[in-house]
Amino acid sequence: MATFVLIPGAGGHAAYWNRLTPELEKGGHRAIAVDIEEDDPSMDLGGFAATVEAAMGDNVDVIAVAQSLGGFTAPMIRKPVRMIVLLNAMIPRPGESPNEWWGNTGSFSARREANLAAGRDPEFDFDRHFLHDLPHDARAELLSAAAREPSAAAMAQPCVFGRWPAVPTKVLIGRDDRFFPADFQRRVAKDRLGLDTNEIPGGHVVALSNPSGLAEMLVAYAAQF
């Protein structure tokens, strides 16, 4: 049995994982969905990591699953983990801040080019980039959560780690992600971690659009190590 510690993206809502958690538990695994009050002005990246460590408790055999902005939290966790899974994630370099990541990776131009190639409006739109593949009930659930923007302190803070943790790391992509297009994610994973990626159907919030497919992949990862 593995313990999956589920680290949310921007906003920090544990409810993002509500559909994935029962899928993992059906297989006899434990799932801990972390809630991070990212809008607290005193909360920085270190605070995000400390919240995850507190949620881990004394659990061992932990697999950390980091969604989107959670990619900045994963390498700062000081407690041991067995594996890191980066899910549609921002992959930082040591000393890079989230604010710097966008320009350093070319994410804006990558998204614009993908939109144009697909015949979509190139400008960012929350509905078009995050909700396009969600069933109605999942969409309503996501929209009902109170907005929590990450603090300015967290977005401006360098990600403090010397090198990527020396544990098996997987990069998992929702192949229908419009916010971080798949080609863009493949490039960043290869450039920054030297890793190839795996892909499943689903967009940026794939834990809501394809929880069963995501759970199947996570359990398969757990069985590898």
Task: Domain of residue 19: give its range.
Answer: 3-224
pTM comes to 0.96
pLDDT of residue 169: 98
195 to 22, 129, 170, 190, 201: CA distances (angstroms) = 29, 25, 8, 5, 20
pLDDT of residue 204: 96
| pLDDT, block means (10 residues), the chain with 225 residues | 95 92 95 95 94 94 97 96 98 98 97 96 92 88 80 94 94 98 98 98 96 98 91
DSSP state of 132: T
Number of domains making up the chain: 1
For residue 80, the domain's CATH number is 3.40.50.1820
pLDDT of residue 139: 86
pLDDT of residue 1: 86
CA torsion angle 120 123 128 130 (round to 10): 130
